[in-house]
């Protein structure tokens, strides 16, 4: 009897200890695994954090997502070098040689099976750099992603009545963000560059999926579109691969998949005037949040600072707002809209965003007034410092 009881006690004791020590470890392991990948892409730091039970799947999905982002980055890099002009055709089409010859000698009779003379983008080359190089020369047939981005950009050029313009390249070059240049462009220079900025002179042909900038010297700058679009494509790839919970963060451009363990993801909004503080905390599920702020990229010239969100109407940094956050399911749209709305007057921006379905906005004006759309109610915890004041909230 005695022996049996003590054996029982020993077993019970061991089980108790195992449970106490092992339980927390065991439950964590069985429930969720995290796989995070990080890379420097599109001038920013990108992290993709995935959650699930199958680490191999998470790793592979993350790898594919980064691969897609790299592809979009390559296509949209406008500072990439381009090869000489070439003509349309299959890579091994014998007509190609004739068509190229025709380009070199415009007077000669060349054969061209297509009525429209199109340029194509060589594999691995930047489509945007190609379109810019062919401005005023000929249309360039581009891949579906580039075409979709430009269609979206043109749509918002109309919706914002020109406040957003993807053909801002010549003006951005004068300011030289990302380059060493440290001079304020002369007004005459800016005027000349501004005369080349107009999305109406960007011809998108759906049938041939080609893009043509009508005037020589025009150039596209996809800085406000490409990052968000790439993030969205990455999110789609994760989803297709079977990832149900993930957060992609591309330098503050955020896209979440699903929820984080039953709870929405918590994403802070940076206080535009205090890098240590947050101005609000968003709860996100299957959506994206992107912020445009005047503090993100700043150049100091002769003691005055200039930020990188340049108005295509004036040629100077926009000064009405200091921070605009957009929350909407599609990250490409969120990225574009945060810039477009930043460039507008606060009231106009509110009026526009209320027309767009499933889209919310949090805006801080230059005089530190906060505007936000009614749809954010219950989705945001407001944590602004004392210097901020609430403007009238938007009614439905």
Partner 1 sequence: MLMRKRWLTKADTRLLIAVILLSLVAYVMIKISAGYASAEKQAVVEVSGKIVRQFDVAEDTATRMTIWGKTRPTTIEVQKGRMRVLEAFCPDQLCVKQGWISGPGQSIVCVPNELVIYFQDNDDSGLDGITR
Alpha-carbon distance values, 269 to 12, 32, 227, 279, 393 (Å): 51, 27, 18, 6, 18
**Under rule CB under 8 A, which residues in 311-370 are in contact with partner 1?**
325
Q: Does 31 bind partner 1 (CB under 8 A)?
A: no
Two tokens at 218? Answer: 């025009």
- DSSP labels for 329-350? S-HHHHHHHHHHHHTS-HHHHH
Q: Tell me: does residue 4 bind partner 1 (CB under 8 A).
A: no
Gap between the Cα atoms of 81 and 125, Å rounded: 8
- Which residue's CB is nearer to partner 1, number 132 or number 323? 323
Instruction: Show the site string, 223-252: x = touches partner 1 by CB under 8 A, - = not.
Output: ------------------------x-x-xx
Closest C-alpha among 250, 296, 224, 237 to residue 39: 250
Instruction: For the chain, report the end-to-end CA distance as a whole number of angstroms.
Output: 78
384 binds partner 1 (CB under 8 A): no
Q: Kindly state the number of chain residues that form the binding site for partner 1, as judged by CB under 8 A.
A: 51
Binder among 207, 276, 387, 396 for partner 1 (CB under 8 A): 276
Which CB, 120 or 291, lies closer to partner 1? 291
Q: What DSSP string describes 191-253?
A: HHHHTT--GGGEEEETTTTEEEE-STT-----TTTHHHHHHHHHHHHHHHTT--EEEEEETTE
β-pairing, 369-372 vs 389-390, is: parallel
Minimum distance between the CB of residue 369 and partner 1, rounded to whole angstroms? 19
- State the minimum distance, in angstroms, from the CB of residue 249 to partner 1: 5
Does the footprint of partner 1 cover residue 6 (CB under 8 A)? yes
- How many other C-beta atoms are found inside a 10 Å radius of the C-beta of residue 26? 12
Q: Interface with partner 1 includes 297 (CB under 8 A)?
A: yes
Q: Nearer Cβ to partner 1, position 298 or 351?
A: 298
| Least distance in angstroms from the C-beta of 226 to partner 1 | 16
State the residues that interact with partner 1 by CB under 8 A: 1-2, 5-6, 9-10, 12-13, 16-17, 20-21, 24, 37-40, 43-45, 178-180, 247, 249, 251-254, 256, 260, 265-270, 275-276, 278, 281-282, 289-291, 293, 296-299, 325
């Amino acid at each position: 009897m005695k022996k049996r009881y003590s054996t029982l006690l020993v077993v019970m004791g061991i089980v108790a200890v195992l449970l106490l020590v092992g339980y927390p470890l065991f439950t964590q392991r069985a429930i969720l695994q995290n796989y995070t990948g990080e890379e420097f892409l599109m001038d920013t730091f990108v992290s993709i954090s995935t959650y699930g039970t199958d680490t191999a799947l998470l790793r592979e999905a993350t790898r594919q997502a980064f691969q897609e982002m790299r592809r979009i980055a390559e296509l949209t890099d406008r500072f990439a070098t381009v090869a000489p002009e070439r003509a349309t055709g299959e890579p091994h089409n014998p007509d190609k040689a004739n068509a190229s010859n025709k380009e070199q000698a415009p007077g000669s009779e060349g054969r061209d099976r297509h009525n429209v003379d199109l340029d194509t983008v060589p594999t691995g080359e930047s489509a945007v750099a190609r379109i810019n190089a062919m401005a005023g020369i000929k249309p360039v047939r581009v891949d579906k992603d580039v075409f979709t981005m430009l269609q979206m950009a043109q749509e918002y050029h109309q919706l914002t009545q020109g406040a957003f313009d993807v053909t801002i390249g010549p003006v951005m070059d004068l300011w030289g963000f990302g380059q060493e240049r440290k001079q304020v462009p002369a007004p005459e220079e800016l005027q000349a560059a501004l005369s080349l900025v107009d999305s109406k002179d960007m011809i998108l042909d759906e049938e041939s999926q080609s893009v043509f900038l009508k005037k020589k010297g025009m150039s596209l700058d996809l800085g406000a579109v490409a990052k968000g679009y790439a993030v969205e494509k990455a999110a789609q790839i994760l989803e297709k691969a079977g990832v149900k919970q993930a957060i992609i963060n591309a330098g503050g451009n955020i896209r979440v998949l699903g929820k984080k363990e039953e709870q929405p993801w918590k994403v802070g909004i940076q206080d535009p005037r205090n890098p240590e503080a947050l101005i609000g905390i968003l709860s996100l599920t299957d959506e994206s949040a992107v912020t445009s702020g005047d503090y993100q990229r700043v150049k100091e010239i002769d003691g005055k600072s200039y930020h990188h969100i340049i108005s295509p109407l004036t040629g100077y940094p926009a000064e009405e707002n200091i921070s605009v956050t957009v929350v909407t399911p599609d990250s490409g749209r969120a990225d574009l809209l945060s810039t477009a709305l930043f460039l507008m007057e606060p009231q106009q921006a509110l009026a526009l965003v209320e027309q767009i379905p499933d889209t919310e906005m949090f805006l801080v004006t230059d005089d530190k007034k906060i505007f936000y759309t009614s749809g954010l109610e219950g989705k945001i915890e407001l944590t602004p410092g004392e210097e901020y004041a609430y403007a009238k909230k938007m009614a439905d």
